[in-house]
C-alpha cells in the first residue's frame, strides 16, 4: 500500500484533478461552534478567527445567526465587510424578519449567502413547530423566494433531515429548488444516523428530486454517537460536494464534524476516494490553536490531527520504526498540517520592527495601539524567556484579543504562600462600570486563594467546573496556558489565560470566564422574547 502524502491546494487545472470531485468546505465554527456551552466570542475575536479561516482557504464561512442578537448581527456584518475570499453566510429561519436580518448582515460581502432552514421531521413539526407539513411547505416557498430577491446564492436546509420521511423531505427540497435555492444541505441534526443510512437517504433523494444533481448538495453531521466524520464521508461518497464542519469539532452538544479530520481524511486518502479540497493544510494546526485559545475549549491530547499526541510515539518499537522511516507509523507528515513548525525566534533585544515583521509573516496585521500593546507583552515575556517562538507570539496576540470582552478585568494580585501556613491572596479588579474593587481570601492553595479573592472583589460566587493547565511550548521557561470553565446561575463561561507565571495565567482565565458567565446570565434574563437558536 502506498502512502499518499502529497500537497493539498492548487486548482484543478494545475493538479490534473477532476473539478467535479472538489469538495467545498463550509465552516460553521462561528455559528454552530459558538453555540457550544460556555463560548461567547466578541466581535474582534470572531473577526480574527474569520481572517484565519480565510488564510486556511475555506470556501464558505457561516459567520453567525444575525437575528439572535445585536452583537451577533454586528459581528456577521463586520466579517462580511472585512474578510475577503470565502463566501460569507448568515443563517436564518424561514421568517421574513430572519431573512431580512441575514441579508442586511452579509450584503456588504463580495460573496454573500443566505442560509435558511426549517425542520421536516414529524417530531419537530408536531412538537417544536406545532404546525403541519403543508404549512412547512408554504414557509419554505416564501422564505427561499424572499432570499432569492436579495442574492443568487441561497442555501436551504431541512432540519433533522436524517429523521425525516424521505418522500416528504423530497417534496420540500423540490419546492426550495423551484424557488431558486442553489445549495441543499440535508443535516443529521441530532447525530442519530449511520453511514449506510445516510448514504442511502441521499441516493433516494437524488432519485426523487429533479434537478438535485444540478446544485450543490451538502452534509452537516453532529457527533452525538461519534459518527460525524464517518457520516459526512458517506454523504460525500453518495455524491454530495459540500461538507459543513467546525474547527476542533466544536458545536452543539457533542459537536460537529471536525474540519481538520474531514480535510486530512480527503487529503491523505485522495488516491482512493478521488475527492479533494482547496485548503492550505499547513494552516490547520494554527487555526486549531487560535480557536482553542479564543473559545477556551482545550484540544484533547489524543485528538486526531491536531492533538498533542497525534504525532507522538511512546512505544520503543514505534520510535525505532519512525526513526528509520517516518511512514512506518505516520500516515501523514506533521508539517503538512502546520505542526513542528516553530521557526520564528525572537529575544529580549528584538525591537518593535522585528516583532511587527514576525507577526506579519504569521498573518497578523498589527499597528498603532494594538502593536504597542503586543510589544509591551512581548517585552514582559522576553525578560523571562531566552527565546520567544512563533507559538509564543500566537498565544500572546490571541490573549490580547480577549481584552475587549465587556466585564471584569484583572488589575493586579499578590499571593503569600509557604509550607507553614495557608496561602493568602489579595486582588484588584476593574468592574464593568470602570470602578476598582479589592478582595482578599485565604485558600487551600495559591490559585484557589486568588480565585476566592476575585469572588470577594466581584461579589460573584460561580462554581468552578473545569480547570486545566498546559504549556504552549517546551522547556522550564515555557508559557503556561490555563483554561477555566465556571457556572453562574445556570450559565457557563469559559476563559483562557497565558503567562510565564501560572498563577497570573489562571487569574486571567478565571476573570474572563466569570465575565462571560455574568454576561450570559444577564442576557438570559432579557431573552424571553428572543428566538430559539438551535439549528441544523
158 and 170 Cβ atoms separated by less than 8 Å? no
Q: Which grid coordinates belong to 430?
A: 476593574
Query: Please, which residues bridge with residue 415 across strands?
Result: 425
Distance (Å, rounded) from C-alpha 127 to C-alpha 27?
Answer: 30
pLDDT for 406 equals: 60
Mean pLDDT of the chain: 87
- Give the β-pairing of 463-471 and 436-442: unpaired
pLDDT of residue 512: 87
Q: What is the pLDDT of residues 346-372, one digit of tens each?
A: 777 778 788 787 777 766 777 777 788
Q: Which helix (H) or strand (E) holds 155?
A: strand 154-159
The CATH architecture one would assign to domain 405-525 is 2-Layer Sandwich (3.30)
DSSP 152: S
Specify whether the CB–CB gap between 486 and 514 falls below 8 A. Answer: yes
Mean pLDDT of 451-458: 95
Coil vs helix vs strand at 192 = coil
The residue count for the chain: 536
How far apart, in whole angstroms, are the C-alpha atoms of residue 454 and residue 444? 15
Strand, coil or helix: 530: coil
Nearest one of 318, 333, 299 to 472, comparing CA atoms: 299
The rounded distance, in Å, linking the Cα atoms of 503 and 497 is: 10
Distance CA 410, CA 454 (A): 9
Better-scored residue on pLDDT, 135 or 392:
135
Between residues 266 and 13, which one has the greater pLDDT? 266
> With 0-12 CB in 10 A as exposed, 13-18 as middle and 19+ as buried, what is 249?
buried
Q: Which of 145, 137, 86, 94 is nearest to 113 (CA)?
A: 86
**What pLDDT is recorded for position 454?**
96
Sequence-ordered list of residues with C-beta below 8 angstroms from that of 413, at least 6 positions apart, any chain: 425, 426, 427, 428, 450, 453, 503, 504, 507
Given the DSSP bridges, would you call strands 436-442 and 424-430 parallel, antiparallel or unpaired? antiparallel
How far apart, in Å, are the Cα atoms of 146 and each of 159, 179, 516?
19, 9, 36
211-215, 257-261, 480-484: least confident range: 480-484
Q: What is the pLDDT of residue 417?
A: 86
**Which of 3, 531, 74 has its CA nearest to residue 272?**
3
Cell of 211: 434537478
At 264-297, the pLDDT tens digits run: 999 999 999 999 999 999 999 999 989 998 888 8
CATH 1.20.58.220 is held by the domain 12-295: no
How far is Cα 129 from Cα 452, in angstroms, rounded to an integer?
Answer: 45
Q: What is the structure's pLDDT at 437?
A: 94
pLDDT at 401: 56
Lowest pLDDT segment from 65-69, 100-104, 474-478:
474-478
Identify the residue with better confidence: 481 or 120: 120
Q: Work out the average pLDDT over 174-203.
A: 98
Each residue's pLDDT tens digit, 46-70: 999 999 999 999 999 999 999 998 9
**Predicted pLDDT at 4:** 44
Alpha-carbon gap, residue 290 to 47, rounded angstroms: 12
Q: What is the pLDDT of residue 219?
A: 98
As a whole number, mean pLDDT of residues 394-416 equals 75
138 phi and psi angles, rounded to 5 deg: -65, -40
Residue 527 CB partners (closer than 8 Å, separation 6+): none
Amino acid at each position: 500500500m502506498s502512502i499518499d502524502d502529497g500537497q493539498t491546494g492548487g486548482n484543478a487545472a494545475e493538479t490534473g484533478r477532476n473539478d467535479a470531485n472538489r469538495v467545498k468546505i463550509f465552516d460553521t465554527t462561528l455559528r454552530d461552534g459558538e453555540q457550544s456551552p460556555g463560548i461567547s466570542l466578541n466581535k474582534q475575536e470572531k473577526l480574527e478567527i474569520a481572517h484565519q479561516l480565510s488564510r486556511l482557504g475555506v470556501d464558505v464561512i457561516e459567520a453567525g445567526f444575525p437575528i439572535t442578537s445585536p452583537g451577533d448581527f454586528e459581528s456577521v456584518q463586520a466579517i462580511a465587510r472585512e474578510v475577503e475570499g470565502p463566501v460569507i453566510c448568515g443563517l436564518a429561519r424561514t421568517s421574513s424578519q430572519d431573512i431580512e436580518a441575514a441579508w442586511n448582515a452579509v450584503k456588504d460581502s463580495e460573496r454573500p449567502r443566505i442560509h435558511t432552514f426549517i425542520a421536516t421531521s414529524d417530531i419537530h413539526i408536531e412538537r417544536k413547530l406545532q404546525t403541519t407539513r403543508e404549512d412547512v411547505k408554504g414557509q419554505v416557498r416564501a422564505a427561499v423566494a424572499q432570499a432569492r430577491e436579495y442574492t443568487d446564492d441561497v442555501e436551504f436546509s431541512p432540519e433533522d433531515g436524517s429523521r425525516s420521511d424521505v418522500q416528504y423531505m423530497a417534496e420540500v427540497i423540490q419546492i426550495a429548488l423551484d424557488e431558486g435555492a442553489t445549495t441543499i444541505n440535508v443535516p443529521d441534526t441530532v447525530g442519530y444516523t449511520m453511514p449506510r443510512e445516510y448514504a442511502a437517504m441521499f441516493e433516494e433523494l437524488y432519485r426523487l428530486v429533479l434537478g438535485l444533481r444540478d446544485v450543490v448538495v451538502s452534509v452537516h453531521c453532529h457527533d452525538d454517537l461519534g459518527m460525524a466524520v464517518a457520516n459526512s464521508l458517506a454523504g460525500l461518497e453518495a455524491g454530495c460536494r459540500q461538507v459543513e464542519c467546525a474547527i476542533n469539532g466544536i458545536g452543539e452538544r457533542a459537536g460537529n464534524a471536525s474540519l481538520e479530520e474531514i480535510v486530512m481524511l480527503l487529503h491523505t486518502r485522495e488516491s482512493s476516494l478521488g475527492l479533494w479540497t482547496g485548503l492550505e493544510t499547513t494552516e490547520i494546526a494554527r487555526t486549531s490553536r487560535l480557536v482553542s485559545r479564543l473559545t477556551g475549549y482545550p484540544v484533547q491530547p489524543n485528538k486526531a490531527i491536531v492533538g498533542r499526541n497525534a504525532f507522538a510515539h511512546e512505544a520503543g518499537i514505534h520510535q525505532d520504526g519512525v526513526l528509520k522511516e517516518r511512514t512506518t507509523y505516520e500516515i501523514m507528515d506533521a508539517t503538512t498540517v502546520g505542526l513542528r513548525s516553530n521557526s520564528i525566534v525572537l529575544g529580549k533585544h528584538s525591537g518593535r520592527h522585528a516583532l511587527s515583521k514576525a507577526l506579519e509573516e504569521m498573518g497578523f496585521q498589527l499597528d498603532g495601539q494594538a502593536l504597542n500593546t503586543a510589544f509591551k507583552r512581548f517585552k514582559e515575556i522576553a525578560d523571562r524567556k531566552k527565546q520567544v517562538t512563533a507559538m509564543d507570539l500566537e498565544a500572546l496576540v490571541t490573549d490580547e484579543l480577549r481584552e475587549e470582552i465587556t466585564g471584569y478585568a484583572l488589575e493586579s494580585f499578590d499571593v503569600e504562600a509557604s509550607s507553614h501556613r495557608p496561602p493568602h491572596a489579595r486582588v484588584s479588579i476593574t468592574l464593568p462600570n470602570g470602578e476598582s474593587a479589592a478582595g482578599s481570601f485565604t485558600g487551600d492553595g495559591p490559585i484557589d486563594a486568588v480565585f476566592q479573592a476575585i469572588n470577594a472583589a466581584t461579589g460573584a460566587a460561580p462554581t468552578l467546573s473545569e480547570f486545566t493547565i498546559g504549556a504552549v511550548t517546551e522547556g522550564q521557561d515555557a508559557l503556561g496556558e490555563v483554561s477555566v470553565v465556571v457556572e453562574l446561575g445556570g450559565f457557563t463561561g469559559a476563559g483562557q489565560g497565558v503567562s510565564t507565571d501560572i498563577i497570573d495565567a489562571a487569574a486571567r482565565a478565571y476573570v474572563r470566564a466569570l465575565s462571560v458567565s455574568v454576561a450570559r446570565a444577564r442576557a438570559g434574563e432579557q431573552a424571553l422574547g428572543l428566538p430559539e437558536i438551535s439549528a441544523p
